[in-house]
């Protein structure tokens, strides 16, 4: 490896970092970080030659030297957070600024007995055995180079544990804000979410940034959902326009568990989301939804993989994209039905609405079916606006701009309306409206509560 090799800076930094890293005194964690670093060093950044990275070049990330983000020196005001987060939110909130928990901006209310919502580093001190049992055991860093970097370099993140049979009714909001400095910075946020047997929880992850500085957010979230547990997860990504965001979400589902995940990618310059779910036992149900709104020169790549490893599980997947300007999106869906996973019911849909001539989408839906008694379907569409619909609305007195804006909103609404955290749904709806040319007229036409 030469100095020009993009891996070198990470290797050099690691030898310093590992001595001061959280849990540096825990041998298992030290070994874990070292093996992740070794894996990254051997493998390096992915290239376009790899099937999984065929449509997304990470060269801009590889050629940039990022510093681990320092604490934001001038602090962050509550108004800044409110501007970036969403209004009317009631629930528990952990706010991380440049990767560090800001206790003043965070607030965790009264919780049922045994529930933990805290920093991962704290959990490492409080319950190291539980963390050891799960950390990096699910999000495979041997196959995912950015997960390897995260595993080597993570400094903090959220730890959520809801014990057996407990329901946390209020949503748990994990906010990750980046306040870039003069030089490019990186945050490897690491979250571990454990929803035990029969427990119920809602988690919203929000990512956002300020200004036009260059930064890189490389989060990994691992979720273990126990038997008969119910888990709703949302990821709201509104990074600033120059940001790199490469995220991995790994969900493991127990018997007869019910999971919904909704990935809302609205910001960022170069974005890659990997969502991997694994049915580890029978009878699980998964709703995997996504919405990406891509404009300017943004590039957003959603990779999903659902492993039906056991029989009698159901997955419904719907990803929708709206593209404008020179926006570029990738949808790569893979549903793997293992040999013994009989009676699998899986449906995968990807729909893309192109608003400009220069926008581009690569949609690669996929099914790999090794069982013989299953019901699986997939579909993909990429298209411009339906002129029949435009004419219909105009013939009812709506001007053309309003008609087109309303149809764009309607396209997104299918995913937006699935968001069950109402302040989040409202914020998402408002954000989409604000992007439409005829936002006032459309707002009138879609406003709830007639």
Partner 1 sequence: MAAPMLEIRDVHASVGDKPILKGVDLVANAGEVHAIMGPNGSGKSTLANVLAGRPNFTVTQGQVHYMGRNLLAMKPEDRAREGVFMAFQYPVEIPGVNNAYFLKSALNAMRRYRGEEELDAIEFLSLIEEKLKLLGLDESFTKRGLNEGFSGGEKKRNEIFQLLVLQPKLAILDETDSGLDIDALKIVANGVNMMRSPERTTLLVTHYQRILNYIQPDVVHVLVDGRIVKSGGNELAHELEKHGYAQFEAAAKVA
* Nearest CB to partner 1, comparing residues 8 and 443: 443
190 to each of 12, 147, 347, how far by Cα in Å? 21, 10, 30
* Nearest CB to partner 1, comparing residues 2 and 434: 434
* Nearest CB to partner 1, comparing residues 364 and 413: 413
In the complex, the smallest distance separating the C-beta of residue 395 from partner 1, rounded to whole angstroms, is 5
* Nearest CB to partner 1, comparing residues 342 and 439: 439
Residue 209's closest CA among 389, 84, 50, 36? 84
Q: What is the largest CA-CA distance in the chain?
A: 71
Give the residues lining the site for partner 1 (CB under 8 A): 386-389, 391-400, 402-403, 406-407, 409-414, 417, 441, 444-447, 449-450
* Nearest CB to partner 1, comparing residues 204 and 407: 407
In the complex, the smallest distance separating the C-beta of residue 387 from partner 1, rounded to whole angstroms, is 7
* Nearest CB to partner 1, comparing residues 368 and 417: 417
**CA angle centred on 244, ends 86 and 89, rounded to 5°:** 10
417 to each of 172, 183, 427, 448, how far by Cα in Å? 20, 39, 12, 11
* Nearest CB to partner 1, comparing residues 183 and 386: 386
* Nearest CB to partner 1, comparing residues 338 and 394: 394
* Nearest CB to partner 1, comparing residues 123 and 353: 353
Q: How far is CA 308 from the centre of its chain?
A: 21
In the complex, the smallest distance separating the C-beta of residue 115 from partner 1, rounded to whole angstroms, is 36
Task: Give the whole-angstrom CA distance, residue 98 versus residue 207.
Answer: 11
Residue with tokens 């903090």, as numbered in its chain:
156
In the complex, the smallest distance separating the C-beta of residue 302 from partner 1, rounded to whole angstroms, is 20
* Nearest CB to partner 1, comparing residues 128 and 410: 410
In the complex, the smallest distance separating the C-beta of residue 382 from partner 1, rounded to whole angstroms, is 17
* Nearest CB to partner 1, comparing residues 274 and 317: 317
In the complex, the smallest distance separating the C-beta of residue 421 from partner 1, rounded to whole angstroms, is 19
In the complex, the smallest distance separating the C-beta of residue 289 from partner 1, rounded to whole angstroms, is 14
In the complex, the smallest distance separating the C-beta of residue 36 from partner 1, rounded to whole angstroms, is 43
Task: Give the whole-angstrom CA distance, residue 93 versus residue 104.
Answer: 11
In the complex, the smallest distance separating the C-beta of residue 403 from partner 1, rounded to whole angstroms, is 8
Residues 257 and 226 sit within 8 Å (Cβ to Cβ): yes
In the complex, the smallest distance separating the C-beta of residue 419 from partner 1, rounded to whole angstroms, is 13
Residues 307 and 277 sit within 8 Å (Cβ to Cβ): yes
In the complex, the smallest distance separating the C-beta of residue 89 from partner 1, rounded to whole angstroms, is 24
């Amino acid at each position: 490896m030469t100095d020009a090799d993009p891996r070198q800076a990470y290797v050099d930094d690691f030898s310093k970092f590992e001595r001061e890293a959280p849990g540096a005194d825990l041998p298992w964690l030290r070994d874990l970080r070292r093996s992740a670093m070794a894996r990254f060093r051997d493998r390096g950044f992915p290239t376009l030659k790899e099937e999984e990275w065929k449509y997304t070049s990470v060269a801009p990330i590889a050629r940039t030297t990022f510093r681990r983000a320092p604490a934001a020196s001038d602090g962050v005001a509550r108004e800044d957070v409110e501007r970036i987060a969403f209004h009317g939110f009631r629930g528990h909130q952990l706010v991380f600024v440049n990767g560090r928990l800001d206790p003043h901006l965070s607030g965790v209310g009264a919780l049922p007995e045994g529930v933990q919502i805290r920093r991962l580093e704290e959990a490492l001190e409080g319950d190291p055995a539980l963390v050891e049992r799960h950390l990096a055991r699910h999000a495979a860093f041997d196959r995912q180079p950015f997960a390897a970097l995260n595993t080597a370099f993570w400094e903090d993140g959220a730890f959520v544990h809801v014990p057996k049979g407990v329901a946390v009714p209020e949503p748990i909001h994990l906010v990750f804000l980046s306040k870039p400095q003069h030089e490019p910075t990186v945050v490897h946020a690491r979250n571990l979410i454990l929803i035990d047997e029969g427990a119920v929880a809602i988690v919203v992850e929000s990512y956002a940034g300020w200004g036009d500085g260059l930064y890189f957010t490389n989060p990994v979230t691992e979720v273990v959902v126990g038997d008969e547990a119910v888990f709703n997860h949302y990821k709201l990504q509104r990074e600033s326009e120059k940001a790199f965001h490469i995220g991995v979400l790994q969900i493991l589902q127990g018997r007869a568990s019910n999971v919904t995940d909704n990935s809302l990618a609205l910001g960022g310059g170069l974005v890659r989301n990997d969502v991997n779910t694994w049915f580890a036992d029978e009878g699980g149900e998964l709703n995997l939804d996504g919405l990406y709104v891509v404009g300017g020169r943004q590039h957003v790549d959603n990779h999903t993989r659902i492993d039906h490893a056991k029989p009698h599980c159901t997955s419904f997947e719907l990803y929708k994209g709206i593209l404008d300007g020179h926006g570029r999106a990738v949808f790569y869906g893979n549903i793997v039905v293992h040999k013994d996973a009989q009676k699998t019911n899986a449906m995968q849909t990807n729909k893309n609405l192109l608003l400009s001539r220069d926008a581009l989408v690569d949609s690669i839906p996929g099914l790999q079916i090794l069982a013989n008694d299953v019901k699986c379907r997939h579909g993909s569409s990429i298209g411009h606006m339906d002129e029949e619909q435009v004419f219909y609305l105009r013939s009812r007195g709506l001007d053309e701009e309003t008609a087109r804006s309303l149809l764009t909103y309607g396209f997104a609404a299918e995913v937006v309306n699935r968001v069950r955290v109402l302040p989040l749904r409202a914020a998402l709806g408002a954000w989409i409206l604000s992007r439409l040319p005829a936002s006032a007229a459309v707002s009138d036409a879609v406003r709830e509560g007639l």
